[in-house]
Structure 1
Amino acid sequence: MKIEYDAGTALSIMRANPARGWTSGKPERMAKERLTTGDFLKVEHRPKFQIDPSWPIFTMGSCFAREVENILMMRGLPLLLRGHGVPAEHFESWNEESGRGGGANRGELSRGALNKYSVRSMAHELKRVLLGESYPDEGLIELSPGQWFDPHASGLRLLSREEAFANRQRLTTATATIKDARICFFTLGLTETWLDSQTGLAMNIHPGPSWLAKMPERFRFVDYGYDATLSDMLEIIGLIREHCNPEMRFIVTVSPVPLGATFKEADVIVANSGSKSVLRAVAEELYRRFDFVDYFPSYEIVLNSPRAMAFEDDQLHVAREMVAQVMTTFQASYLGAPAQPQAA
């Protein structure tokens, strides 16, 4: 959708925008100056709407979405996924000695399994909840006798049928909380996706290189482009407004967390740039089309802050201090006065 004004309107908008210039304007507002302070980038964001602090929030997306949730909960906002998740001991990262895994302690539930990396996998999860779509064995795959894999979860080890199916119910129940939401916060993660050709499901994650090699006909790699990704997001928004709150508002952002590895014949840095560019373009189109969809620039804030401050040592995960800075901007934009911190 194009944006078009007459010259007078365009000049008026430009003159009223204090952050319009890369090398012109007040020094503290110039992009050149803000990009070279050596500190976290400050972005002037003008939201389309404000959030009532009492509105229940539903979040969906990549691991960056989980970091956002932690900050929202600490600041006292009603996060619908609070208290939902999968037992920490079911994660691949489970450490018996420390009694910790999936970002949680023994006996606790971790939201890490809720990570959704591609838009197509988000769409399948929501159709399961909102349209009652069903799949053989709930979409789970028995990779070896008694060892079950959930391609719509994230970070879980192979589990017994009983454990895997119980977790699938936990995750479906968590997703169903979207029916009580007033605001949806979507974090778009990547475009590279794997399909299970037997069920037709776009998997959230693949089962690992060894299983891909053992079952080459069952699993297929797809890198979704702009048209397919936009179509999926339009379908998601339509489903939610039809089957949840018809006045639902959406905040869309793009995860700054890069691809861990690419399956394309490209340098991972180049492949990541292509993937994020598609997602950013889709987010921009949604922003242009709908007055109830806003784009929040967490991607730009992180990527244009000093990398040594913005990312952890692995250069993959966003540093907690950076997430807090992003959410300070979010809160100032959408909530006005700061919320009172609460225990997560």
Structure 2
Amino acid sequence: MIKHKTTIELEPAAFKIQYQDYLLSIGSCFAQNIAQKLQNIFYNVSINPFGTLYNPISIRNSLGLLLNKYEFQEEDLFFHNGLWNSFQHHSSFSSTTIEETLERINIELIKARTRLKRSNTLLITLGTAWVYELRKTQKVVSNCHKFPANRFKRRRLTVDEIVSSLGPLLEYLKENTPDLNIILTVSPIRHLKDGFTENQISKSTLLLAVQEMVQKARFIHYFPAYEIMMDDLRDYRYYTDDLIHPSSLAIEYIWEAFAQSYLAPEEASLRKNIYKLHKAIQHKSFNPSSSSHQKFVQQQLKNIQKIKTKVPSLDLKQAESHFLNQLIQT
């Protein structure tokens, strides 16, 4: 048979993620995509507590903030375009009042700090080696918040800079959480605003830095999301209309590769049942009071009890409440 494409052959992962594990995913949009897939089937995963982060320095700084007891104060914010913002956070945290912005930031900060201490797996997705330094402070920002470009110095990190800044922090995390495994990925989303050549150099820089960190530490692992997108799925039918972001089909393909590599095979049947529960939650009935829908609701509540029996640590409160609220008592 003629081969019509190359296929990335994945080696078996050195460890497996199970339902009793706790996970934290941080980084670019792709970190959100994979973590959302995990969340959809009820894994204990926290996603981007600072919002989307793209460069290794911002990721390092954000993880550093989770390791200490610091909480954001008024002096950490600035007012721009009618909103109070933080250079460490995505604009989704911004608000018209200082109080609300600080509340949003610190609530997520405290939750993520607690989660990191319990995490077995940390998923980090690097998006770009290009950084923006605020000229006033000479510090790398996570988000420019539409400030004029002349307020920033744009430069590309070197491999040594990435390894020397992110590597020691990952080592420190491992020392304090002996069971921790770290999965590094390079985002398959191209940053074409940087330029085609600049994007390629940026991704290459990230890949070289990741390889060096993986070779130095057995607890750091690499998942080739970038290679799967660039080589296995090298066709524009796997992109959205902007021809930059992976389509839902591409995300599903990469997710299946990730799941096959890292999710415990002995829980495959359980994952299927939980995915069915996820789809059932999304179902909207035209007649909630009908006998058929009530039977459907009762069946889902029974399924939830079965799942809880198998994995007592699984938090199914929201799912259970969702169906209990639809149940008509007779």
**TM-score normalised by structure 1 residue count:** 0.70
Tell me what 2:108 maps to.
Answer: 171
Aligned partner of residue 148 in structure 1, secondary structure = strand
Contact 2:49–2:108 under 8 Å retained in 1:
no
Query: Structure 1: which amino acid aligns with 2:37?
Result: I
User: Could you tell me whether the CA contact under 8 Å between 2:23 and 2:44 is conserved in 1?
Assistant: yes
Write the distance in 1 (CA, Å) between the matches of 2:192 and 2:98.
Answer: 29
Which 10-residue stretch deviates more, 43-52 or 251-260? Answer: 43-52
Cα gap change, 1:138/1:69 in structure 2, threshold over 3 Å: closer, same or farther? farther
Partner SS for 2:193: coil
Q: Equivalent residue for 1:35? A: 5
Cα drift, residue 198 of structure 1: 4.4
Give the counterpart of 1:295 among 181, 198, 222: 222
Normalising by structure 2, we get a TM-score of 0.73
Partners of 2:121 and 2:258 in 1: CA distance: 14
* In structure 2, distance between residues paired with 1:320 and 1:230: 32
1:260 Cα deviation from its structure 2 partner: 4.7
Kindly indicate whether residue 256 of structure 2 is the aligned counterpart of residue 328 of structure 1.
Answer: yes
Go from structure 1 to structure 2 and tell me whether the alpha carbon gap of 1:284 and 1:56 turns closer, same or farther (over 3 Å shift).
same
Structure 1 counterpart of 2:183, which letter? I
Structure 1 stretches of 5 or more lacking a match?
1-26, 82-110, 263-267
Residue 73 of structure 1: SS of its match in structure 2?
helix
Q: How does 1:161-310 map to 2 (within 5 A)?
A: 161-176=98-113, 177-199=115-137, 201-209=139-147, 211-213=148-150, 216=151, 219-243=152-176, 245-262=177-194, 268-304=195-231, 305-310=233-238
The AA in structure 1 aligned to 2:24 is F
Summarize the Cα distance change of 1:274–1:120 in structure 2 as closer, same or farther, 3 Å threshold: same
Q: Distance in 1 between the 2:84 and 2:139 partners?
A: 16
Please give the residue correspondences for 1:15-94 in structure 2 after superposition, counting only pairs within 5 Å. Answer: 33=3, 35=5, 41-81=7-47
SS in 1 for 2:44: coil
RMSD of aligned residue pairs (Cα, Å)? 2.6
Cα distance 1:34–1:173, how it changes in 2: closer, same or farther (>3 A)? farther
Amino acid at match of 2:172: L
- State the identity as a percent: 20
**Structure 2: unaligned runs, 5 residues or longer:** 282-330
Q: Can you list the C-alpha shifts for 1:33-64, whole angstroms capped at 9, x where unaligned? A: 3626xxxx453333222223321111111011
Which piece of structure 1 moves more, 198-207 or 135-144? 135-144
Aligned residues: 269
Structure 2 letter corresponding to 1:78: N
Matches of 1:236 and 1:34 in 2, distance apart? 43
In 2: Cα distance, 1:46 partner to 1:76 partner? 23
1:114 and 2:51 matched = yes
- For the pair shown, which has the larger CA radius of gyration, 1 or 2? 2
Superposed structure 1 runs of 4+ greater than 4 Å apart: 133-136, 197-200
